[in-house]
């Protein structure tokens, strides 16, 4: 694989005001509950901001948590385009060996598009029940959990939904998600090393577990921003990005979501609808923010439980920085921003020398 660097530009040349990026960095670093690890901003297809807080580096793979789900959905879209998967087919049709075991009518009525949109009919998370019921085959364990509602009528953020979607892709392709995506997505996008966690079945789990660099997140976001076209080559089916980012099921008022303003606008196919654009979203602040109205992508890795507050800072500081036209006379500001990004570092951890009488324990 030949990795081509993302095209770069000064922020001002792409209509990005460096002062807004400075304000965003100031806000992140002033919040004791947010530990930023990386930030990449693309505008009009150009990388205008990139920084990593040492000891994190550009090439270091990062656990993406549930941002992995957006890659799983992308694999499902590719399998659909190849005629291997049907979003309107019953989930059970891909696992005929469970036919006699799965008797609940709602489980039998569950379609691929229902698990793709977290609308299986369950009212809550079932991951413990699925793995507890059948550790050797979590799909069977999931389908043995009777949904409380008809599939397609209620949202619940439910890991076995994505696990099952990924399991279908791996079954119909005969490959792991990584092996299937490598020639179709990862290599064409220039995504380097990745690693995806597997369970005891040998499957990559789909709902989490993908380790990849921030650059991979940025490239996926740009691909979705451009409706699946990368450097003139169509990688994803036409219109898939719109399907994936369309709210297929309402999320407001559900248990997980509460009143978080960027989670009450509906859920697509493994993407959340945000106040601005849509996003892939992983625990502790792993974000792929796709902002069509600004022709921008923001890719970040973080360690924080205050994920809504993080998004609030993006909207407060970065959105006003996206201007409608190139900015002039900003060379000094762009240079100052670049120099700041080059010296980003997390503060040293608190601690002290070993207690003298126990120093030998570490020697």
- What the chain holds in terms of domains, given with CATH numbers, is 11-60+213-342 (3.40.710.10), 62-212 (3.40.710.10)
Predicted local confidence at residue 332, as pLDDT:
97
Predicted local confidence at residue 259, as pLDDT:
79
pLDDT per residue as tens digits for the range 130-151: 999 999 999 999 999 999 999 9
pLDDT per residue as tens digits for the range 179-203: 999 999 999 999 999 999 999 999 9
355 has a pLDDT exceeding 80:
no
In this structure, the number of other CB atoms found within 10 A of the CB of residue 128 comes to: 11
DSSP H helices in the chain: 18-30, 68-81, 105-109, 112-116, 127-133, 138-143, 159-173, 177-181, 187-189, 214-225, 240-245, 307-313, 331-342
Alpha carbons 288 and 221: distance in angstroms, whole number:
6
pLDDT confidence of 257, banded at 50, 70, 90?
confident
Predicted local confidence at residue 65, as pLDDT:
98
Mean predicted lDDT score pLDDT of the chain: 95
- Mean pLDDT (whole number) for 145-173: 98
Predicted local confidence at residue 350, as pLDDT:
78
- Mean pLDDT (whole number) for 284-289: 98
Alpha carbons 337 and 343: distance in angstroms, whole number:
10
In this structure, the number of other CB atoms found within 10 A of the CB of residue 253 comes to: 10
pLDDT confidence of 357, banded at 50, 70, 90?
low
% the chain with pLDDT above 90: 92
Predicted local confidence at residue 23, as pLDDT:
98
Predicted local confidence at residue 288, as pLDDT:
98
pLDDT confidence of 356, banded at 50, 70, 90?
low
59 has a pLDDT exceeding 80:
yes
| Residue (of 40, 48, 37, 54) closest to 15 by Cα position | 48
| Residue (of 349, 68, 62, 27) closest to 212 by Cα position | 62
pLDDT per residue as tens digits for the range 296-343: 999 999 999 999 999 999 999 999 999 999 999 999 999 999 999 999
Predicted local confidence at residue 354, as pLDDT:
60
pLDDT confidence of 349, banded at 50, 70, 90?
confident
- Find tokens 């509950």 and name the residue: 33
Instruction: Return the minimum-mean-pLDDT range out of 113-117, 203-207, 290-294, 346-350.
Output: 346-350
% the chain with pLDDT above 70: 96
Predicted local confidence at residue 254, as pLDDT:
81
More confident residue, 153 or 2: 153
């Amino acid at each position: 694989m030949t990795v081509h660097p993302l095209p770069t530009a000064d922020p001002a040349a792409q209509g990005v005001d460096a002062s807004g990026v400075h304000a965003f960095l100031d806000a992140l670093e002033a919040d004791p509950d947010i530990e930023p690890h990386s930030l990449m901003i693309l505008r009009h297809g150009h990388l205008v901001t990139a920084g990593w807080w040492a000891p994190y580096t550009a090439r270091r793979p990062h656990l993406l948590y549930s941002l992995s789900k957006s890659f799983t959905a992308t694999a499902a879209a590719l399998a659909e385009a190849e005629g291997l998967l049907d979003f309107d087919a019953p989930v059970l049709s891909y696992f005929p060996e469970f036919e006699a075991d799965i008797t609940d009518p709602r489980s039998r009525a569950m379609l691929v598009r229902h698990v793709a949109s977290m609308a299986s009919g369950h009212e809550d998370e079932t991951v413990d029940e699925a793995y507890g019921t059948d550790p050797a085959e979590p799909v069977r364990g999931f389908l043995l959990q009777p949904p409380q509602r008809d599939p397609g009528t209620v949202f619940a953020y439910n890991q076995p939904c994505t696990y099952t979607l990924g399991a279908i892709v791996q079954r119909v392709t005969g490959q792991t998600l990584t092996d299937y995506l490598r020639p179709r997505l990862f290599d064409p996008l220039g995504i380097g090393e990745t690693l995806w966690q597997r369970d005891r079945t040998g499957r990559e789990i789909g709902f989490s577990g993908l380790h990849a660099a921030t650059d991979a997140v940025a490239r996926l976001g740009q691909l979705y921003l451009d409706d699946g076209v990368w450097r003139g080559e169509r990688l994803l089916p036409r219109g898939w990005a719109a399907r994936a980012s369309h709210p297929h099921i309402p999320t407001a008022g559900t248990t997980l979501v509460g009143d978080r303003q960027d989670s009450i606008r509906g859920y697509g196919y493994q993407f959340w609808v945000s106040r601005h654009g849509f996003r892939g979203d992983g625990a502790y602040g792993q974000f792929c923010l796709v902002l069509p109205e600004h022709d921008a992508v923001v890719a970040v890795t973080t360690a924080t439980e205050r994920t809504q507050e993080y998004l609030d800072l993006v909207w407060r500081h970065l959105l006003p920085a996206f201007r409608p036209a190139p900015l002039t006379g900003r060379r000094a500001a762009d240079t100052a921003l670049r120099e700041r990004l080059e010296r980003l570092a997390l503060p040293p951890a608190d601690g002290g020398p070993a207690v003298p009488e126990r120093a030998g324990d570490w020697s």
